Amino acid sequence: MTVPEGRVRVLRDGPVRAERDYVLYWMTSFRRARSNFALERAIEHARALKKPLVVFEPLRVAYPFANDRLHTFVLQGMAENQRRFAASPVHYFPFVETEPGEGKGLLEALASSACVLVGDDWPSFFVPSMQAAAAKKLEVRFEVVDSNGLYPMHDTERVFTTAHSFRTHLQKVLPPHLMAVPREDPLEGLSLPKLAALPRRITWARAPKDLLAASPAAIAALPLDHSVGAVKMVGGSAAGEARMKRFVEHQLVDYAEARNEPEVDGTSALSPYLHFGHVSTHQLFARMVRQEQWHIEKLGKSIGGSREGWWKLSPPAEAFIDQFVTWRELGFNMSSHCPETYQSLDSLPTWAKATIEAHAKDPRPHLYSLQQLERSQTHDPLWNAAMGQLRRTGWFHNYLRMLWGKKIYEWSKSAADALHAMEYLMGKYSLDGRDPISWSGYFWVLGRYDRPWGPERKIFGKLRYMSSDNTAKKFEVKNYIATFAP
């Protein structure tokens, strides 16, 4: 097997059942046919056993926040997967529920003919508990594979509490992992026996064409929250790869200066594609280092966690890699190692809990209800515009997310209320919400990964403070406000 063993966790032990009909890959998070260690592991099992491979990609209707926006994006990805698998011997089975619970029993029925079940090791939202429940019930060996990032989540047991300490660690341990990459196109030249048909007991129908085409009429017929509409951004690996190419070839060069400018299209906007697994950071890394004509021998010795200088890439590439490797994978480190607490206020550093507690009773000059926040009904035009961009486009800018979160804290009765508001608004409207780094962001607002700041202020105490006035002084925001004002 070529997939590194350190990326594989066995959720249900047992022998591989060679007498059964096929290998089953349950695709829930790495929704792509390329650069995917989980798919590669399933292929390796199928080749070793000389069995067909079934890729099962389901979409339920009753998960939290299920709405037209999220469904459309995921369905566009499923349509692309169907195209990619159609040209291979893999049996691709896309399944979309049309009513809650319709898919109940389907995985079990599929797994009962499987030699081995492979799944995606993704440490957030409902995925870990859904997989744990499956592992208890299904009578088949069940492996989950980590294809989240450049650094395998379970390579270390340590939980990192600052980006600096995680960067220091990566500078020591990452190089060998950069050599162990998933195959860009594991379907290329793939030879496997083809499955003539799924077993007869699989009476569930594959998703019909109109649903896979994400047709508005088909989506309107599903029991979803239709108040959150589809957006312009198109889901799927092809769209994600095109965006990645455009960003790396044309925009990366200005990333370091442009990334904080709300009025400039200066970042990759790849977060929705990374979130749904339509593209991988391995693909992004490979494309970037090709562009930069970089090779691994260029890597320097560990430089004690400094942000720049270790990779020996251009300054904008180093700034970008610090986001999609250090900061992104820091969030995966926390959620994979602290599944019980990464979404809880208890996980905050001691100083942050103390300062929040000390200022809990400070009067709040502005208090807004969740509904007022959701409708952009605050006194702050920049904040209202940021919320407007999120509501209308399903994505918004990193610098404004920081400001957005800080103001929610300032305008809420408590840290718990602020956390709830951030989880709700991002979960509902953001294509990239419900991700390990969603909780990194919400908790960064409340002090995680940060340090105490002075002077101590009302409400914030020693938490880092941000204001819309300062943001407007630093960056052009007039057009942004005009564009996204409610």
Ligand X SMILES: Cc1cc2nc3c(=O)[nH]c(=O)nc-3n(C[C@H](O)[C@H](O)[C@H](O)COP(=O)(O)OP(=O)(O)OC[C@H]3O[C@@H](n4cnc5c(N)ncnc54)[C@H](O)[C@@H]3O)c2cc1C
Which residues contribute to the site for ligand X (CB under 6 A)? Answer: 259, 267-271, 274-275, 323-324, 327-328, 331, 398, 401-402, 405, 426, 430, 432-433, 435, 437-438, 440-442, 444-445
Kindly tell me which of 57 and 450 has the beta carbon lying closer to ligand X: 450
Decide: 486 and 375 in contact? Cβ < 8 Å.
yes
Kindly tell me which of 98 and 314 has the beta carbon lying closer to ligand X: 314
- For the CB of residue 391, give the shortest distance to ligand X in the complex, in Å: 14
Kindly tell me which of 121 and 432 has the beta carbon lying closer to ligand X: 432
Q: How far apart are CA 82 and CA 91, in angstroms?
A: 10
- For the CB of residue 464, give the shortest distance to ligand X in the complex, in Å: 11
Beta bridge partners of 445: none
Nearest residue to ligand X, by Cβ distance, number only? 441
Decide: 65 and 430 in contact? Cβ < 8 Å.
no
Kindly tell me which of 22 and 439 has the beta carbon lying closer to ligand X: 439
Kindly tell me which of 115 and 437 has the beta carbon lying closer to ligand X: 437
- For the CB of residue 67, give the shortest distance to ligand X in the complex, in Å: 15
Kindly tell me which of 95 and 429 has the beta carbon lying closer to ligand X: 429
H-type helices in 207-266, by residue range?
209-212, 216-220, 237-246, 255-258
Q: How far apart are CA 18 and CA 51, in angstroms?
A: 9
- For the CB of residue 365, give the shortest distance to ligand X in the complex, in Å: 22
- For the CB of residue 283, give the shortest distance to ligand X in the complex, in Å: 13
H-type helices in 359-397, by residue range?
370-374, 381-393
- For the CB of residue 435, give the shortest distance to ligand X in the complex, in Å: 4
Q: How far apart are CA 274 and CA 233, in angstroms?
A: 14
- For the CB of residue 102, give the shortest distance to ligand X in the complex, in Å: 28
- For the CB of residue 116, give the shortest distance to ligand X in the complex, in Å: 31
Ordered DSSP codes for 54-88:
EEEEEE-S-STT-BHHHHHHHHHHHHHHHHHHHTS
Kindly tell me which of 278 and 328 has the beta carbon lying closer to ligand X: 328
- For the CB of residue 361, give the shortest distance to ligand X in the complex, in Å: 24
- For the CB of residue 375, give the shortest distance to ligand X in the complex, in Å: 19
Q: How far apart are CA 26 and CA 58, in angstroms?
A: 8
Q: How far apart are CA 11 and CA 134, in angstroms?
A: 9
Here the tokens at position 324 are 């999609």
Beta bridge partners of 161: none
- For the CB of residue 200, give the shortest distance to ligand X in the complex, in Å: 42
Kindly tell me which of 235 and 331 has the beta carbon lying closer to ligand X: 331
Here the tokens at position 428 are 């509902």
Kindly tell me which of 102 and 225 has the beta carbon lying closer to ligand X: 225
Query: How far, CA to CA in Å, does 186 sit from each of 2, 33, 84, 120, 205?
Result: 12, 8, 11, 16, 27
Q: How far apart are CA 484 and CA 428, in angstroms?
A: 18
H-type helices in 254-397, by residue range?
255-258, 271-275, 281-291, 315-321, 328-337, 350-358, 370-374, 381-393
Kindly tell me which of 90 and 463 has the beta carbon lying closer to ligand X: 463
Q: What is the DSSP secondary structure assignment for residue 248, as one 8-state letter?
A: I
Kindly tell me which of 213 and 402 has the beta carbon lying closer to ligand X: 402
Kindly tell me which of 102 and 322 has the beta carbon lying closer to ligand X: 322
Kindly give the interhelix angle for 163-173 and 328-337, rounded to the nearest 10 degrees.
90
Decide: 403 and 440 in contact? Cβ < 8 Å.
no
Query: How far, CA to CA in Å, does 21 sit from each of 40, 114, 205, 206, 410?
Result: 19, 6, 20, 19, 58
- For the CB of residue 442, give the shortest distance to ligand X in the complex, in Å: 6
